[in-house]
Structure 1
Amino acid sequence: MPTIESLFVTRLYRAALAEFGTPVDPAELESSCMVIAQDDEAGQDWCEENGYPGYTSYASLTDLPWRFPIFADVVAALDLHVAEFAKDLEFDLDGRALKLEDIWINILPEGGMHASHIHPHSVISGTTYVAMPEGASALKLEDPRSARMMAAPARQKAARRDLQTFVYPKPRVGDVLLWESWLRHEVPMNMAEDERISVSFNYGWE
């Protein structure tokens, strides 16, 4: 009898941000994101100069947890999730913890999208979701082997999840998703009339 096993697994972590008891008020977080976006002229200028739809604080604000206490609460919760994910990944951290490197706000209006990318120089990346109106785009994750498949035929539409070339997890408000930073991902076009709001982050190993 033939033996077939799965190798080189790609892990995706999903949980409620408040899973471990660290409270974050969703309404306050959404309000804070909107206030920051309105006041961050440097971020607005960067988005306009770089053709970024909507708003991101990625290139303008590097100290959200220091400026706004609710982001300190978010980071406290994320630290617990990242530690849990690192255990599942069976990393040998040599007695050191993964630490937050950066955290930023994303606000995508109707028609906005974020092209396929990875997060170089980080270990774990992820997003927590602040506003996901009906019709807002899911996260799109790409099989990391796709560039090496060369002449391979396409997968069947009903292929099991671990064989699909693209996976589209649909997050809910209050969810946190984590993945290893080398995993290519994107946000397809937001088809909702309202804005899709999320907070993304990177953790590194010091």
Structure 2
Amino acid sequence: MSQITSLFATRLYHAPLSAHDPKVDPDELEASCYAIAEDDEAGQAWCEEQGFPGYTSYASLADLPRRFPIFGDVVKALDAHVAAFARDLAFDLGDKALKLDSIWINILPEGGIHTGHIHPHSVISGTTYVALPEGTSALKLEDPRLAMMMAAPPRLKDAPADLQTFHYARPSVGDVLLWESWLRHEVPMNMSEDDRLSVSFNYGWE
């Protein structure tokens, strides 16, 4: 009798941010994101120079948790989620730990996209979702073996999720998604008239 085994799993962690304390008020977090974006002239200038749609604090504010108490609460909750994901991944961290390396705001307007990318020099990356208006983009995740598939035929449209070439994760406001930082991902074009707000982050092994 034949036997088929699934090997080399790619994990995606999905949970409500509020599953771990402290609880974060999504309305307060949204208001804080907009207030920061409005005052961050350096971030606005970087986005304009780079042709970046909307706003990101990625290149301008490296200390959100120290500047704004609500981001300190976000990080405390994220620490617990990342620890849970690390256990699921069976990481042997030795005498080091996974620690927050960077955290930033993303405000993606109508027509904005985040093209495919990975997060080098990190172990775990993720996003918590602040505003997801109807019609906004899912998170598109790419099979990391795609470049090595060469002559492989396409998958059937109804293939199981773990055999699809791309996976579209559709979180809700207040959810957090985590993945290993080598996993290529993107945000397709925002087709909603309203902004898509999220807070992204990286954890390194220190």
User: In structure 2, how many angstroms separate the alpha carbons of the residues matched to 1:98 and 1:50?
Assistant: 31
- The within-5 A match list for 1:97-108 is 97-108=97-108
Counterpart in the other structure of 1:139: 139
Counterpart in the other structure of 2:111: 111
One-letter code aligned to 2:105: I
User: In structure 1, how many angstroms separate the alpha carbons of the residues matched to 2:95 and 2:187?
Assistant: 35
Deviation at residue 95 of structure 1 after TM alignment: 2.9
Q: Kindly provide the CA deviation profile for residues 139-198 of structure 1, in whole angstroms up to 9, marking residues without a partner as x.
A: 000000000000111111111100000000101000000000000000000011100000
One-letter code aligned to 1:5: T
Does residue 197 of structure 1 match 2:197? yes
Counterpart in the other structure of 2:6: 6
User: In structure 2, how many angstroms separate the alpha carbons of the residues matched to 1:116 and 1:87?
Assistant: 27
Q: Count matched residues.
A: 206
One-letter code aligned to 1:156: L
- The within-5 A match list for 1:33-52 is 33-52=33-52
Secondary structure (helix, strand or coil) at the match of 2:169 reads: coil
Counterpart in the other structure of 1:56: 56
Counterpart in the other structure of 2:80: 80
CA contact (8 A) 2:108 2:195 kept: yes
One-letter code aligned to 1:99: K
Secondary structure (helix, strand or coil) at the match of 1:173 reads: coil
User: In structure 1, how many angstroms separate the alpha carbons of the residues matched to 2:108 and 2:67?
Assistant: 23
User: In structure 2, how many angstroms separate the alpha carbons of the residues matched to 1:23 and 1:163?
Assistant: 36
User: In structure 1, how many angstroms separate the alpha carbons of the residues matched to 2:171 and 2:190?
Assistant: 14
User: In structure 2, how many angstroms separate the alpha carbons of the residues matched to 1:186 and 1:43?
Assistant: 21
| TM-score of the two chains, using structure 1 as the length reference | 0.99
User: In structure 2, how many angstroms separate the alpha carbons of the residues matched to 1:202 and 1:18?
Assistant: 19
One-letter code aligned to 2:132: M
Deviation at residue 97 of structure 1 after TM alignment: 1.6
Deviation at residue 20 of structure 1 after TM alignment: 1.8
Secondary structure (helix, strand or coil) at the match of 1:135 reads: coil
Q: Kindly provide the CA deviation profile for residues 72-93 of structure 1, in whole angstroms up to 9, marking residues without a partner as x.
A: 0000000000000000000000
Counterpart in the other structure of 1:15: 15
Please list every run of 5 or more consecutive structure 2 residues that lacks an aligned counterpart in the other structure: none
CA contact (8 A) 2:104 2:200 kept: yes
| TM-score of the two chains, using structure 2 as the length reference | 0.99
Counterpart in the other structure of 1:26: 26
CA contact (8 A) 2:124 2:202 kept: yes
Please list every run of 5 or more consecutive structure 1 residues that lacks an aligned counterpart in the other structure: none
Deviation at residue 96 of structure 1 after TM alignment: 2.2
Counterpart in the other structure of 1:149: 149
User: In structure 1, how many angstroms separate the alpha carbons of the residues matched to 2:100 and 2:21?
Assistant: 19
Counterpart in the other structure of 1:94: 94
Runs of 4+ in 1 over 6 A off after TM superposition: none
